[in-house]
Structure formats: structure tokens, C-alpha cells
Amino acid sequence: MTLPTLEQVAPELVGFVLSGLVVLYGWPRARSFREWVDRTLIRREPAASPFPWGWRVVALALGGAFAVAAFVQSAPIPCSAGEDDTLALLQSGRGLLAGGDPFATFQCGHSVLIPYGLAGAILDGLGSLGGRVGIWLIWDLMALLLIPLTWYLAPTHRGYATIFVATSMLYAPLVVGSIQGGHSAIVPVTALLGLWLARRENPVAGAVAGFLSTVKFPSLFPFWGGLAGVGRGRWFTLATSATVFAGLSALVVLVWGGYAYTLLFSFQLIRADFSINEFGVLIPLGAMPPASVLTILQGVSLLSALLYVHLRRWPAIPAVALLTVVVALVAQRFTENFLIWLLPVALLGPTYSRWLFAIGAVGVLNGAVALPACTNSGACGPSEGLAGALGVMLLVLLVLILRESPRSLAGTAGSSSLPIPPVSASPSAPLETSSTAFHSAPRIEGVGTPTGPRGSAQ
């Protein structure tokens, strides 16, 4: 790995080390390390007592990092270095505010299409009021919502889950490294924010989820799955979200024409230029199934998962996790930035965080090193091997979620205010003890435009 490559993946390497330490703390066999951490925290507790731990502290620290990255990363990209994602989103937002077309922009002598729905254009419009930095800040703010949502929705190990998400390779490195990382965070934010509102019986839950899902429509499926664990009003909320999504999508087509439908839906359903999941094995070989067959398989898989969790009345968080993994498995174009979609799985506990850590390592290595080698020099063997491994890991993760008893997670969020869970009275006692407990240069491309593997339009 060359020095420029190391510099390019520096945020991911930092996330690898930090989240690795968090995962090590949650590993039942790492008793010595856990005891050392606890002794260190206890020794320093009197000095830290005026500074209470909680999601606000974590969000404040991450928010500062995101803000600094927004100013640094928002610098213009010259035409010789590729298309400028920030400029494209800025032009989209300004186009909407001016009454123009937010889905077609122009830079470096050619047009750039923006394959995101009305909510994306509206958020771009708000961000454009602050210029290039404002575009970064608006999407970083949306991504930052994952911290309080994780804190309040985690059924157990609330502090552990929050710290894991904050340090994970699947989160902060993707958000600060590319505008598309923050942009992709809208998928878990949509599912978890809508679910948080629905569990509080807030009547706007469905409308919020339906609106935000127009940015990236796969986010509807985890949200719909999570409604299986919501009592009164779950069908009303599901219908509201579907109606809002369909209504806003129809409005886009009505105002901007049929090409908007092709761009936002048809093209996204058949787009398969590269992937880091199991489809990354088939794409270089030219062995992808016909688009119609693939769409049918995707639809059947997602609908089957939805029916399963609703008929068995799964609790909300396991259901969201299950649907999230299904979406990741059936997406024919799953990129490095899309790894952030998997973060709701971290709410299930330490064992699932370990799986996310491994998935993040494999996915980032593929997206940052192996896939560019495949694209640039035709050496696709390593990328195919990593893509196949990621597909197997996602499948194993799906089986683990299905094997566990989801009702063991039903209940309220944990009450610990510490950033990491306290160790049990017995130093050797594991964190998980029951078989029924959950173990714990960027581009935006339009239709027909070749895509690069890292940081490309998602």
C-alpha cells in the first residue's frame, strides 16, 4: 500500500483502531483489558465527575470534528481531478431555490445528473444558503442524528452501542472523508428517526420517514420492518409513509418529467457498475442476471422479510436490523459509503458490533484498495474475493439475527449513563450469557456516466 493510499484511508485506519478497542472491551474473553479500562476510569472519576457522560458529549465531540472536516473538505475540486460532488449538490440546491431543475446540473463542460429525490433537493437548498461549507454541514448534521438515536433506541448496552457507532469505520470516517458518506447516512437516520417517533406515538412519524426516504428509497424497508414492534397505529404509520413517499415522487415526475422517474428509480434499480457485496463477484465477470429477474428477486426477498417480522411481531430494533441486512444483501450496487447503512445492527449488542467491525474492515479494504486496482488495472481477483467474503459475512449476520430470540430484546433502552457498560460484579462474567440474548476525488454520475469505485455517486 503506497503512502498516498495510506493518506487516503487515514480516517478509516483511525476508526479501525478506535472501534477495535471498543470491540475488544466488549469481548467476554478480554477480561484483563476490560479490568484495566475500568480501573483507569474509576481512578479518574473524581476529576471527571463534573463532566457527565451521555450522547450529548459524544455528539459534541463528533460535531466539532464534522464541522472542521466540512471546512477542509469543501474546497473546490479542479476539473482535471474529476467531478465535484459538493458543487453538484450546491447547484442542485440553488436550482431548486431558483425554481429550476434540481436533478440536472452542469460543470466542467458537461451535465451531471443528481439521482436523489425531493427531500435531497430540499436539504441541498437549505445547505446552499451557506455555500459549499453549508452543503457539507447540512448532511453532516443529518448524519450526526445517529448518535442520539442510537442512545435512545438501543434496548441494552446503550452506552456501548453509542461509543461503538461513534468510533466505527462505518460512520465518522465515511462522513468526514466524502460528502457521499454523510449523504448515505440518511438511510439509517430515516429508519431510526421514524421509528423513534412511531414508538412515541407521534403522528408525524410516517410523514417524516416518507419524506426522508425520497433521498434514498431503500431506507423505507428497514423503517417498515421496525414498525412490527410498534403497537397502536403501526399500520397507519406505514400507510402514511408510503403515501408521502409516493406523493412526493409523483410530484417530482409531474413537475420535472419522466426523465426524473428514470433517474430516481428505473436507473437505480438496474445500475450495476460495481459493488463490494456478493454482486462484486458477478459484475466483473459479466454474469449478472437480467434486470427484470434481479428486480423480482429483490422484491420477493424484501417483502418476505417484511411479512416475516410483522407476522411474528418482532420487536422494533431486531426487525430494523434484519431488514437492513437484507437490503445490504440484495442491493446490486453496494458501495463503500453504503456501509453506513448497517449501523442499526450495532443496537443489538456487542457480538453484532464485532461482526460490523469485521464487515467494515473487509468492505473498506475492498472499496479503498482492491476495487480501484480492479477498475484501473484490471486486477479484479482480490476485489472479487473480498466481495464474496463480505457477501458471506452479511449472510451469516442475517442467520445470526434470525436464530436469536428477538423478544429477548423487547423493552426499554438501557439506563446506564456511562459511555461503556459497567462490568458485572464477577470480573470473569461475560457480557453475554444466554443463548436467547443477542450477542453482542469524489464523483456524482448521471445516467450512462462511468463510475469510479471510491466516493462515487451513490
Residue 107 per-residue DSSP state: E
Instruction: For residue 266, tell me if it sits in a domain.
Output: yes
Residue 354: pLDDT over 80: yes
Q: Give me the residues paired with residue 113 across strands.
A: 104
Amino acid identity of residue 363, one-letter, is G
Residue 338: domain span: 3-38+53-409
Q: What does residue 430 show for φ and ψ, rounded to 5 degrees?
A: -75, 160
Q: How confident is the model at residue 268 (pLDDT cuts 50, 70, 90)?
A: confident
Per-residue model confidence (pLDDT) at position 285: 87
* Mean pLDDT, rounded, for 295-314: 94
Residue 16: pLDDT over 90: no
Return the percent helix, strand and coil in the chain, to nearest 5: 70, 0, 30
**Inter-CA distances, 139 with 180, 221, 235, 349, Å:** 9, 21, 30, 27
**Spatial distance between the Cα atoms of 262 and 265, rounded to a whole number of angstroms:** 6
Instruction: For residue 14, tell me if it sits in a domain.
Output: yes
Q: Among 19-33, 98-112, 274-288, name the one with the lowest average pLDDT.
A: 19-33
Residue 399: pLDDT over 90: yes
Q: Among 17-26, 51-60, 318-327, 347-356, name the one with the lowest average pLDDT.
A: 51-60
Per-residue model confidence (pLDDT) at position 62: 94
Per-residue model confidence (pLDDT) at position 121: 95
Instruction: For residue 420, tell me if it sits in a domain.
Output: no
Q: How confident is the model at residue 43 (pLDDT cuts 50, 70, 90)?
A: low
Per-residue model confidence (pLDDT) at position 161: 92
Alpha-carbon torsion (249, 85, 193, 296), positive or negative: positive
How many structural domains compose the chain? Answer: 1
Q: How confident is the model at residue 5 (pLDDT cuts 50, 70, 90)?
A: low
* Mean pLDDT, rounded, for 208-213: 96
Q: How confident is the model at residue 408 (pLDDT cuts 50, 70, 90)?
A: low
Per-residue model confidence (pLDDT) at position 437: 32
Per-residue model confidence (pLDDT) at position 83: 84
Per-residue model confidence (pLDDT) at position 6: 57
**Spatial distance between the Cα atoms of 90 and 181, rounded to a whole number of angstroms:** 16
* Mean pLDDT, rounded, for 59-82: 90
Q: How confident is the model at residue 392 (pLDDT cuts 50, 70, 90)?
A: very high
**Spatial distance between the Cα atoms of 264 and 32, rounded to a whole number of angstroms:** 52
Q: Among 20-24, 57-61, 199-203, 265-269, name the one with the lowest average pLDDT.
A: 265-269
Instruction: For residue 403, tell me if it sits in a domain.
Output: yes
Per-residue model confidence (pLDDT) at position 405: 59
> What percent of the chain has a predicted confidence (pLDDT) above 90?
57
Residue 435: pLDDT over 50: no
Better-predicted residue by pLDDT, 79 or 437: 79
Residue 426: pLDDT over 50: no
Mind listing the pLDDT tens digit for each residue in 158-185? 888 999 999 999 999 999 988 999 999 9
Better-predicted residue by pLDDT, 47 or 157: 157
- Contact predicate 306/221, CB 8 Å: yes
Instruction: For residue 444, tell me if it sits in a domain.
Output: no
Instruction: For residue 103, tell me if it sits in a domain.
Output: yes
Instruction: For residue 402, tell me if it sits in a domain.
Output: yes
The whole-chain average pLDDT of the chain stands at: 84
Q: How confident is the model at residue 450 (pLDDT cuts 50, 70, 90)?
A: very low
Instruction: For residue 82, tell me if it sits in a domain.
Output: yes
The number of C-alpha atoms within 13 Å of 104 and in the hemisphere containing its C-beta is 14
Helices within 312-380 (DSSP H only):
316-330, 350-365, 371-377
Per-residue model confidence (pLDDT) at position 13: 79
